[in-house]
Amino acid sequence: MAKRIDVTDLNVYYGAFKAVEGVTMTIEPRSVTAFIGPSGCGKSTFLRTLNRMHEVIAGGRVEGKVMLDDQDLYAPRMDPVAVRRTVGMVFQRPNPFPTMSIYDNVAAGLRLNGVKNKKTLDGIVESSLQGANLWAEVKDRLNKPGAGLSGGQQQRLCIARAIAVQPQVLLMDEPCSALDPISTLAIEDLVGELKNEFTIVIVTHNMQQAARVSDRTAFFNLRATGEPGRLVEIADTTKIFNNPSEQATEDYISGRFG
C-alpha cells in the first residue's frame, strides 16, 4: 500500500513564471519525507505537483518526470483524477465539507465516486477514523456536522477523509500550522503511525517538527525573490540537522537566515 516516488528534473510553472526549477529526488515508500525551506521557495508548489493538484490553478504546468513506482504521472494518457485517488492530500487549513456530517465527510471520497453500499461505507468510515485517531472522540456523534469539531479534530477528520479512499501516498501541506501544540502533537503521533502504511510527504515551516517526524528531509531555497525555488539537498533527517552538506542548509537550520 505504499509506493516510491521518483522525480527527475522537474520544472514547475505558473503561466510564464518558473516557480520551481530542476528538482530531482526520490521519496522512499513507508517513510516520512519532510520539505523545509523559507516561504516562497516552492515547497508547497512542488508538493502539489506530486498529485497534479498544481494544474488546478490556472496557468499551472510542469516539465520533467514524476514516476510513482513504474507509472509516469504526467504521461499524456494519465488521468489527473486517477492520480489524485492514488496520491491523497491534507491541506494547511482544515477544510471539512460544511454541509456534511462527520460520517459523510469521511465517506465523501467514496460516495462522490459512486460507492453506495452502506456496509462497506460503515466499515471504511470506522477504520479511517480509527486510523486518524479520531474514532474514540466522535463515534457517538457521527451524524453531527464536521464543522462543529475543534480545529485539531477537524484536521484529523480531513486526514481520515483522505485515507478513506485508500491512497498509496499522503501529501500533507503544513498540516499543523493552524493548530495549537496539543493538536499538533496528536497529528505528529498520527504521522508516525501512518507511515507504516503510506508514503508520507509533509511540508512544514517548523524545523523541530521536521526533525521529530521525518526520516528524510529536503531543504528548498531560492536565490532571490522572483527567482525559481530549488532543491538544495535531500538526505536523512539526522544528517540534514547535524551535518548538512550545503552551507545554505546549515545557515537555515541554525537560524542564521529565514
Partner 1 sequence: MSTLTREGRAAGESRAQPRSGDRLSDQHDQQPPDEGATPPGGRPDDAALEEMGNPHHGRAVKDAAARVVMWGAFGAVIVPLVWILYTVVSHGVNLLLSSTWWTNNQRNINSGDTGGGARHAIEGTLMMAGVTAVIAVPIGILTAVYLVEYGRGPLARAISFTVDILSGIPSIVAALFVYAVWVTTFGIERSGFAAALSLVLLMIPVIVRSTEAMLLLVPNELREAAYALGVPKWVTVVKVVLRTAFSGIVTGVLLGLARIMGETAPLLILAPYTKNFQRDLLHGNFPTLPMMINQDRGDIGFATAAERMWGAALTLILLVLLLNVIGRVIARAGSAKT
Q: Which residues bind partner 1 (CB under 8 A)?
A: 51, 53, 56, 58, 81-86, 88-89, 91, 93, 95-99, 101, 108-109, 112-113, 145, 147-148, 158, 161-162, 165, 205-208, 255, 258
Nearest in space to 33 (alpha carbons), one of 230, 202, 240, 229: 202
Is the Cβ of residue 64 or residue 145 nearer to partner 1 in the bound state?
145
- What are residue 22's phi and psi, to 5 degrees? 55, 50
- The letter for the amino acid at 46 is F
Contact 7, 201 (CB under 8 A): no
Smallest distance from the beta carbon of 161 to partner 1, in angstroms?
7
Smallest distance from the beta carbon of 73 to partner 1, in angstroms?
13
Helical (H) or strand (E) element with 253 = helix 247-253
Cell digits for 253?
Answer: 537550520
Cell digits for 114?
Answer: 459512486
Residue for cell digits 517548523?
Answer: 206
Is the Cβ of residue 113 or residue 243 nearer to partner 1 in the bound state?
113
Is the Cβ of residue 96 or residue 228 nearer to partner 1 in the bound state?
96
Smallest distance from the beta carbon of 205 to partner 1, in angstroms?
5
Contact 189, 23 (CB under 8 A): no
Contact 46, 35 (CB under 8 A): yes
**Helix%, strand%, coil% for the chain, nearest 5:** 35, 25, 35
Is the Cβ of residue 8 or residue 254 nearer to partner 1 in the bound state?
254
Is the Cβ of residue 56 or residue 75 nearer to partner 1 in the bound state?
56
Smallest distance from the beta carbon of 39 to partner 1, in angstroms?
9
Smallest distance from the beta carbon of 145 to partner 1, in angstroms?
4
